[in-house]
């Protein structure tokens, strides 16, 4: 049964991931997510049904448009695959529970944000506002044995700390990141969101150094922080309690 549900969630994740790409690429550009249907941005060739199969279409066409052979961004299959793997992960980690539902929403949000932030260096308010009521409702439904105050404190502290960093760094961190971390705080609680921020900063530092190495020293280009915060939030959501307990035990 576990395998069947995992396979189902993998397929569902691929299909949803395809939609998340559309949301992440169109919403920041002010375009409708329903129209027009997907087309090649170079030649305008409308994608047919067999060109819309997640990951597989990309692999079969070797990442090229079937009409004009222009390169298709690897963001597409990456977003689809990430959503599929995260959906399966949420289920394997939390079973058939409200926690898993929150995990699915968190996975969806992080994929959309990552696509949007990599492509446009933006985290659209519309996306955050769409997820806010869903995440809040599920959190109130299942506070996971904690007081509601922990989660509202998480939103205030997550947003507050990053806002302070943003003001001190004079634009190094955008307002989109601040709002994103406040939303993560609402889901993770105040301890979890601080862990997410630490993990995200660590991952961002490593990622930034790798980019400098790859680009041979062009360090001035800004790097999007949203994907790293997202990674930190997912790790904190899945394993935060274990990580925090393990860390505190070091001092016992
Ligand atoms: Zn084309």
Q: How far, in Å, from the CA of 172 to the mean position of ligand 1?
A: 36
Q: How far, in Å, from the CA of 62 to the mean position of ligand 1?
A: 13
Q: Are 229 and 184 in contact (CB under 8 A)?
A: yes
Instruction: Quote the pLDDT of residue 66.
Output: 87
Q: Which helix (H) or strand (E) holds 9?
A: helix 2-26
Q: Which tokens sit at 62?
A: 């070797």
Q: How far, in Å, from the CA of 71 to the mean position of ligand 1?
A: 8
Q: How far, in Å, from the CA of 54 to the mean position of ligand 1?
A: 18
Q: How far, in Å, from the CA of 68 to the mean position of ligand 1?
A: 4
Q: Of the candidates 207, 190, 229, 241, which has an alpha carbon nearest to the alpha carbon of residue 106?
A: 229
Q: How far, in Å, from the CA of 74 to the mean position of ligand 1?
A: 15
Instruction: Quote the pLDDT of residue 8.
Output: 97
Whole-number Å distance between alpha carbons of 25 and 79: 11
Whole-number Å distance between alpha carbons of 83 and 86: 5
Q: Which tokens sit at 189?
A: 């609680």
Q: How far, in Å, from the CA of 177 to the mean position of ligand 1?
A: 34
Whole-number Å distance between alpha carbons of 35 and 27: 12
Instruction: Quote the pLDDT of residue 220.
Output: 62
Q: How far, in Å, from the CA of 76 to the mean position of ligand 1?
A: 15
CA dihedral 101, 103, 104, 110 (to 10 degrees): 150
Q: How far, in Å, from the CA of 82 to the mean position of ligand 1?
A: 25
Q: How far, in Å, from the CA of 228 to the mean position of ligand 1?
A: 32
Q: Are 200 and 231 in contact (CB under 8 A)?
A: yes
Residue whose entry in the numeric block shows the structure tokens 């307002």: 175
Q: How far, in Å, from the CA of 73 to the mean position of ligand 1?
A: 12
Q: How far, in Å, from the CA of 58 to the mean position of ligand 1?
A: 13
pTM beyond 0.95: no
Q: How far, in Å, from the CA of 69 to the mean position of ligand 1?
A: 6
Q: From first to last of its 252 residues, what are the pLDDT tens digits of the chain?
A: 899 999 999 999 999 999 999 999 999 999 998 888 888 888 989 988 888 888 999 999 999 998 999 999 899 999 999 999 999 999 999 999 999 999 999 999 999 999 999 999 999 999 999 999 999 999 999 999 999 999 999 999 999 999 999 999 876 788 999 999 999 999 999 999 999 999 999 999 999 888 888 877 665 667 899 999 999 999 999 999 999 999 989 887
Report the residue count for the chain.
252
Q: How far, in Å, from the CA of 218 to the mean position of ligand 1?
A: 31
Whole-number Å distance between alpha carbons of 247 and 125: 35
Instruction: Quote the pLDDT of residue 242.
Output: 93
Q: Which helix (H) or strand (E) holds 116?
A: helix 98-120
Q: How far, in Å, from the CA of 37 to the mean position of ligand 1?
A: 14
DSSP secondary-structure letter at 174?
-
Cβ contacts of 243 within 8 Å, gap of 6 or more: 195, 235, 236
Q: How far, in Å, from the CA of 24 to the mean position of ligand 1?
A: 20
Cβ contacts of 62 within 8 Å, gap of 6 or more: none
């Amino acid at each position: 049964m576990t395998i069947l549900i995992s396979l189902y969630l993998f397929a569902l994740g691929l299909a949803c991931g395809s939609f998340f790409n559309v949301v992440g690429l169109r919403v920041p550009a002010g375009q409708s997510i329903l129209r027009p249907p997907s087309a090649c941005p170079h030649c305008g060739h409308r994608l047919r049904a067999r060109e819309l199969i997640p990951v597989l279409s990309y692999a079969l066409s070797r990442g090229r448009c079937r009409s004009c052979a222009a390169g298709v961004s690897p963001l597409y299959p990456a977003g689809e695959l990430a959503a599929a793997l995260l959906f399966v992960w949420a289920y394997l980690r939390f079973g058939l529970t409200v926690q898993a539902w929150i995990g699915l929403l968190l996975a969806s949000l992080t994929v959309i944000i990552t696509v949007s932030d990599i492509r446009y260096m933006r985290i659209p308010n519309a996306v955050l506002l769409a997820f806010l009521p869903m995440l809040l409702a599920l959190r109130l439904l299942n506070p996971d044995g904690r007081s509601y105050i922990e989660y509202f404190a998480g939103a205030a502290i997550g947003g507050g700390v990053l806002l302070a960093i943003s003001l001190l760094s004079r634009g190094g961190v955008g307002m989109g990141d601040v709002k994103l971390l406040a939303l993560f705080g609402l889901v993770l609680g105040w301890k979890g969101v601080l862990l997410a921020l630490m993990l995200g900063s660590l991952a961002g530092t490593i990622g930034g150094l790798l980019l400098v190495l790859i680009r041979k020293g062009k360090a001035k280009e800004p790097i999007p922080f949203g994907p790293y915060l997202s990674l930190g939030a997912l790790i904190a959501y899945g394993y935060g309690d274990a990580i925090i307990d393990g860390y505190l035990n070091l001092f016992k």
